[in-house]
A and B are shown apart, each in its own frame.
Chain A
Amino acid sequence: MSSNKKYWKSVEELNENSSIVETLRNNEFSEPIPTDEFLSDKESLSSSSTTRRDFLKYVGFSTAAATLAACEGPVHKSIPYVLQPEQIIPGVADYFATSMFDGFDFANLLVKSREGRPIKIENNTIAGAKFTANARVHASVLSLYDNTRLKVTKVDQKDATWAAADMKIKASLADAKAKGGQVVLLTNTLASPSTEKLIADFIAQNPNAKHVVYDAVSESAALDAFEAVYGERALVDYDFSKANTIVSVGADFLGDWQGGGYDSGYAQGRIPQKGKMSKHYQFEANMTLSGAAADKRVPMKVADQKLALVKIYSIITGSAVSVGKLANEDVVVKAAQQLKAAGAKGLLVSGIQDKNAQLLVLAINQALASEAFSTVGTRQIRKGSDAKVTQLLADINAGSVHTLIMSGVNPVYTLANGKAFAQGLKKVKLSVAFSLKEDETASVTNIAVPAPHYLESWNDLMLTKGTYSIVQPTIRPLFSSKQFQEGLLSWTGNAASYYDYIKANSGAYLNGLTWNKAVHDGVVAGVASAASAGSADFSAAASALAQSKPLANFELVLYTKTGMGDGQQANNPWLQEFPDPITRVSWDNYLTVSKADAEKLGLKNEIVANGGLDGSYATVKVGATSITVPVIVQPGQAVGTIGLALGYGKTAALKEEMQVGVNAYALYNNFDNVQSASVDKADGTHEFACVQSQKTLMGRGDIIKETTLTVFTAKFDEPEVWNPTPMVSLDHKEVAATSVDLWESFDRSVGHHFNLSIDLNACTGCGACVIACHAENNVPVVGKSEVRRSRDMHWLRIDRYYSSEETFEGDNKKKEEFDGLFGEKGSLGGFGQMENPSDNPQVVFQPVMCQHCNHAPCETVCPVAATSHGRQGQNQMAYNRCVGTRYCANNCPYKVRRFNWFLYSKNNEFDFHMNDDLGRMVVNPDVNVRSRGVMEKCSMCIQKTQLTILTAKREGREVAVDEFQTACSSACTTGAMVFGDVNNKESKVAKLAEDKRMYHLLESVGTKPNVFYHVKVRNT
Chain B
Amino acid sequence: MKKMGNHNSISRKIVFSLALMLTFSFTSFSQETPPAAAADPAAASAAPAAATGGDPVAGKALFNANCAACHNLDKKMTGPALRGVSAKYDKEWIYKWVNNSSALIKSGDAKAIKIFEEFNKSVMTAFPQLSTTDIDNIIAYTDEKKAEPAAAVAALPGKGADADQGGISNDVILGALALVMLMLVVMLFFVNNVLTKVAKSNNIEVPAKQGVSLWQAFAKNQFLVLVASIFLLLSSGYFVYGWMMQVGVDQDYAPIQPIHYSHRIHAGSNGIDCKYCHSAARVSKNAGIPSLNVCMNCHKNIAEVADTTATPEYSKAFYDGEIQKLYDAVGWDKATQKYTGKTKPVKWVRIHNLPDFAYFNHSQHVTVAGIECQKCHGPVQEYEIQKQFAPLTMGWCIKCHRETDVKMEGNAYYTKIHEELSKKYGVDKLTAAQMGGLECGKCHY
Whether a CB of chain A sits under 8 angstroms from the CB of B247 is yes
Q: Is the CB of A878 within 8 A of B444?
A: yes
A964 to chain B, nearest CB (A): 14
Q: Is the CB of B289 within 8 A of A80?
A: yes
Among the listed B291, B412, B441, which residue makes an inter-chain contact with A81, where contact means beta carbons less than 8 Å apart? B291
Closest chain B residue to A752 by CB distance? B417
Q: Is the CB of A958 within 8 A of B439?
A: no
Which chain B positions have C-beta within 8 A of A91? 280, 284-286, 288, 362
Among the listed B283, B353, B410, which residue makes an inter-chain contact with A89, where contact means beta carbons less than 8 Å apart? B283
* Chain B 407-431 interface 0/1 with A at a Cβ cutoff of 8 Å (1 = within): 0001111111100110010000000
Which of A126-134, A620-628, A868-876 lies at the interface? A868-876
Whether a CB of chain A sits under 8 angstroms from the CB of B375 is no
Whether a CB of chain B sits under 8 angstroms from the CB of A881 is yes
Among the listed A84, A90, A881, which residue makes an inter-chain contact with B293, where contact means beta carbons less than 8 Å apart? A84
Instruction: Report Cα–Cα, A83/B357, bound state, in Å.
Output: 30
Q: Is the CB of A75 within 8 A of B349?
A: yes
Instruction: Report Cα–Cα, A942/B288, bound state, in Å.
Output: 24
Q: Is the CB of A751 within 8 A of B420?
A: yes
Which residues 740-761 of A have a CB within 8 angstroms of B?
Answer: 747, 749-751
* Chain B 387-420 interface 0/1 with A at a Cβ cutoff of 8 Å (1 = within): 0000000000000000000000011111111001
A-B contact count (CB 8 A): 152
Instruction: Report Cα–Cα, A879/B440, bound state, in Å.
Output: 10
Instruction: Report Cα–Cα, A81/B347, bound state, in Å.
Output: 10
Q: Is the CB of A943 within 8 A of B348?
A: no
Q: Is the CB of B250 within 8 A of A73?
A: yes
Q: Is the CB of A868 within 8 A of B440?
A: yes
Q: Is the CB of A953 within 8 A of B345?
A: no
Whether a CB of chain A sits under 8 angstroms from the CB of B290 is yes
A369 to chain B, nearest CB (A): 53
Which residues 874-903 of A have a CB within 8 angstroms of B?
Answer: 874, 876-881
Which chain B positions have C-beta within 8 A of A954? 283, 363, 367-368
Q: Is the CB of A81 within 8 A of B286?
A: no
Whether a CB of chain A sits under 8 angstroms from the CB of B128 is no
Interface of B is mostly: loop
Which chain B positions have C-beta within 8 A of A84? 291, 293-294
Closest chain B residue to A750 by CB distance? B420
A827 to chain B, nearest CB (A): 44
Instruction: Report Cα–Cα, A880/B442, bound state, in Å.
Output: 14
Closest chain A residue to B364 by CB distance? A950
Which chain B positions have C-beta within 8 A of A508? none
Whether a CB of chain B sits under 8 angstroms from the CB of A328 is no
Whether a CB of chain A sits under 8 angstroms from the CB of B215 is no
Instruction: Report Cα–Cα, A956/B288, bound state, in Å.
Output: 23
Instruction: Report Cα–Cα, A942/B439, bound state, in Å.
Output: 12
Whether a CB of chain B sits under 8 angstroms from the CB of A397 is no
Q: Is the CB of B349 within 8 A of A76?
A: yes
Which chain B positions have C-beta within 8 A of A533? none
A697 to chain B, nearest CB (A): 33
* Chain A 483-518 interface 0/1 with B at a Cβ cutoff of 8 Å (1 = within): 000000000000000000000000000000000000
How many residues of A are in contact with the other chain, CB < 8 A? 49
A23 to chain B, nearest CB (A): 51
Whether a CB of chain B sits under 8 angstroms from the CB of A957 is yes
A21 to chain B, nearest CB (A): 51
Instruction: Report Cα–Cα, A939/B445, bound state, in Å.
Output: 8
Whether a CB of chain B sits under 8 angstroms from the CB of A714 is no
Whether a CB of chain A sits under 8 angstroms from the CB of B237 is no
Instruction: Report Cα–Cα, A71/B367, bound state, in Å.
Output: 36
Among the listed A83, A956, A959, which residue makes an inter-chain contact with B291, where contact means beta carbons less than 8 Å apart? A83
Closest chain A residue to B294 by CB distance? A84
Whether a CB of chain B sits under 8 angstroms from the CB of A11 is no
* Chain B 378-392 interface 0/1 with A at a Cβ cutoff of 8 Å (1 = within): 000000000000000
Interface of A is mostly: loop
Closest chain B residue to A880 by CB distance? B357
Whether a CB of chain B sits under 8 angstroms from the CB of A927 is yes
Q: Is the CB of B439 within 8 A of A868?
A: yes
Among the listed A79, A750, A949, A959, which residue makes an inter-chain contact with B345, where contact means beta carbons less than 8 Å apart? A79
Q: Is the CB of A78 within 8 A of B361?
A: no
Q: Is the CB of B255 within 8 A of A956?
A: no
Closest chain A residue to B249 by CB distance? A73
Which residues 309-334 of B have a CB within 8 angstroms of A?
Answer: 329-331
Q: Is the CB of A82 within 8 A of B291?
A: yes
Interface centre among B346, B413, B442 (most CB of A within 10 A): B413
Whether a CB of chain A sits under 8 angstroms from the CB of B2 is no
Which chain B positions have C-beta within 8 A of A75? 255, 349-350
Closest chain A residue to B420 by CB distance? A750
Q: Is the CB of B416 within 8 A of A958?
A: yes
Instruction: Report Cα–Cα, A1006/B283, bound state, in Å.
Output: 42
Q: Is the CB of A928 within 8 A of B347?
A: no
* Chain B 354-374 interface 0/1 with A at a Cβ cutoff of 8 Å (1 = within): 011111011110011000000
* Chain A 952-973 interface 0/1 with B at a Cβ cutoff of 8 Å (1 = within): 1110111100000000000000
Instruction: Report Cα–Cα, A83/B329, bound state, in Å.
Output: 11
Which residues 907-947 of A have a CB within 8 angstroms of B?
Answer: 926-929, 939, 942-943, 946
Q: Is the CB of B440 within 8 A of A957?
A: no
Instruction: Report Cα–Cα, A80/B287, bound state, in Å.
Output: 12
Q: Is the CB of A90 within 8 A of B347?
A: no
Q: Is the CB of B283 within 8 A of A879?
A: no
Which residues 59-91 of A have a CB within 8 angstroms of B?
Answer: 71, 73, 75-84, 89-91
Which chain B positions have C-beta within 8 A of A877? 441, 445
Closest chain A residue to B331 by CB distance? A82
Which chain A positions have C-beta within 8 A of B349? 75-78
Which chain A positions have C-beta within 8 A of B346? 79-80
Q: Is the CB of A77 within 8 A of B294?
A: no
Whether a CB of chain A sits under 8 angstroms from the CB of B271 is no
Among the listed A82, A926, A928, which residue makes an inter-chain contact with B343, where contact means beta carbons less than 8 Å apart? A82
Among the listed B283, B350, B412, which residue makes an inter-chain contact with A92, where contact means beta carbons less than 8 Å apart? B283
Closest chain B residue to A957 by CB distance? B412
* Chain B 276-304 interface 0/1 with A at a Cβ cutoff of 8 Å (1 = within): 00001001111011111110000000000
Interface centre among A75, A878, A946, A954 (most CB of B within 10 A): A954
B140 to chain A, nearest CB (A): 41
Instruction: Report Cα–Cα, A942/B291, bound state, in Å.
Output: 31
Which chain B positions have C-beta within 8 A of A953? 364, 368, 411, 413-414
B421 to chain A, nearest CB (A): 6
Whether a CB of chain A sits under 8 angstroms from the CB of B248 is yes
Among the listed A82, A870, A880, A952, which residue makes an inter-chain contact with B439, where contact means beta carbons less than 8 Å apart? A870
Closest chain B residue to A955 by CB distance? B413
Instruction: Report Cα–Cα, A84/B343, bound state, in Å.
Output: 13
Among the listed A78, A80, A82, A942, which residue makes an inter-chain contact with B445, where contact means beta carbons less than 8 Å apart? A942
A76-B349, A78-B289, A80-B288 are contacts. A750–B439 as well, Cβ < 8 Å? no
B90 to chain A, nearest CB (A): 43
A897 to chain B, nearest CB (A): 15
Whether a CB of chain A sits under 8 angstroms from the CB of B436 is yes
Which chain A positions have C-beta within 8 A of B364? 950, 953
A78-B350, A79-B345, A959-B413 are contacts. A876–B445 as well, Cβ < 8 Å? yes
Q: Is the CB of A878 within 8 A of B289?
A: no
Closest chain A residue to B444 by CB distance? A878
A819 to chain B, nearest CB (A): 50
Closest chain B residue to A777 by CB distance? B445
A80-B348, A82-B343, A871-B436 are contacts. A939–B441 as well, Cβ < 8 Å? yes
Which chain B positions have C-beta within 8 A of A946? 442
Q: Is the CB of B439 within 8 A of A876?
A: yes
Q: Is the CB of B293 within 8 A of A73?
A: no
- Chain A residues with a Cβ under 8 A of chain B: 71, 73, 75-84, 89-92, 747, 749-751, 866, 868, 870-872, 874, 876-881, 926-929, 939, 942-943, 946, 949-950, 952-954, 956-959
Additional A-B contact list (6), CB under 8 Å, known A879-B444, A880-B355: A83-B293, A91-B284, A871-B436, A927-B445, A928-B357, A946-B442
What are 5 A-B residue pairs whose CB atoms fall within 8 Å in the complex?
Answer: A92-B285, A750-B424, A870-B436, A950-B363, A958-B415
List the 10 closest pairs (A to B, CB-CB), nearest first. A876-B441, A91-B284, A84-B291, A91-B286, A81-B291, A76-B350, A878-B440, A78-B350, A880-B357, A91-B285
